[in-house]
Amino acid sequence: MMRMKTKPTAATFNGGCEPVAREWELRPGGMLVQKRHPDSDQITIPPAPTIRVKVKYGSIYHQININSQATFGELKKMLTGPTGLHHKDQKLIYKDKERDSNVFLDMVGVKDKSKMALMEDPISQEKRLMEMRKNAKMEKASKSISEISFEVDRLAGQVSAYESIISKGGKVNEKDVVNLIELLMNQLLKLDGIMADGDVKLQRKMQVRRVQKYVETLDMLKIKNSMPDNNGGGEMEMQSQHKHTNGQRVAPIQERYYNQQQQQSSAADGVVVTTKWETFDSFPALVPVPSTSTSTANNSISPPKFPWEFFD
């Protein structure tokens, strides 16, 4: 872009007396125009004047210097120091009408040396005190939940340790498990006694669910810890079944057959082997039956007798 200066002309005189040099620039289309300066587009706005207002509070007048375009809320904040009232507890009266904190001073005609009255608003003060109590209560509840959460974190480490031992087949003292459950239940009672709203209530609910989960885990671990070893129980059961099949106990139908043989062999002296054929609807297993007849002479034991049966 090409720039050039021109000689002063009649159109370039400042007030028609002194010539003023102007800069020109060539646009891409070939048009020669006067160069614009960035500062020439800015519009300077003069600052708003500062006014002095008189505010009466009780029997005392307070003079406040403030911008004429400020709001009544800003004026209330400036009056907090001289009057000792919180800006939310103040009520400004201008021209016999209470003014809202968002209203601008110049919009309602407040000028220099204007007068207005300041009054204490008991309703706003009560609301502010209630809000302060509520915030303090929520802060205390949040702190209590944080302390309980820290304690639950410590107890959760013990729950994980017991779970690891029992899951690997180990045993722990049942009293330790019961004591840990009681400690968690105490934390649960503390959480139930906390009254909260909003985010604090959500935090309390999350901690309650967390503690309940740990208690349920410990209940399952307690049951598993009290159960005997599976391998030992299986061996005892197998030994019991082995004794049952070694002839210690026989079926009632077999006992009846043994009694008949004993009656036939009771009259004979010596070893008597008898055989009786019977037919049964069922299929009982062949069980060796020890002989009850003994020889009076040599006190010898007769060989075992087997029940022979016909099967369909």
Q: Which domains does the chain have, with CATH numbers?
A: 50-120 (3.10.20.90), 127-225 (1.20.58.120)
Q: How far is residue 141 from each of residues 3, 43, 207, measured CA to CA in Å? A: 73, 55, 13
pLDDT surpasses 90 at 53: yes
pTM attached to this predicted model? 0.45
Residue with the two structure tokens 């400020």: 70
Q: What is the pLDDT of residues 156-205, one digit of tens each?
A: 999 999 999 988 888 889 899 999 999 999 999 999 988 888 888 999 99
pLDDT surpasses 70 at 83: yes
Query: Residue 88 has what pLDDT?
Result: 86
Amino acid at 160: S
Q: What is the pLDDT of residues 277-293, one digit of tens each?
A: 554 454 444 445 454 44
Quickly count: other Cβ atoms within 10 Å of residue 110's Cβ. Answer: 22
What helix, strand, coil percent values describe the chain, rounded to 5? 50, 15, 35
The residue with greater pLDDT, 290 or 215, is 215
- The DSSP secondary-structure symbol of 41 reads G
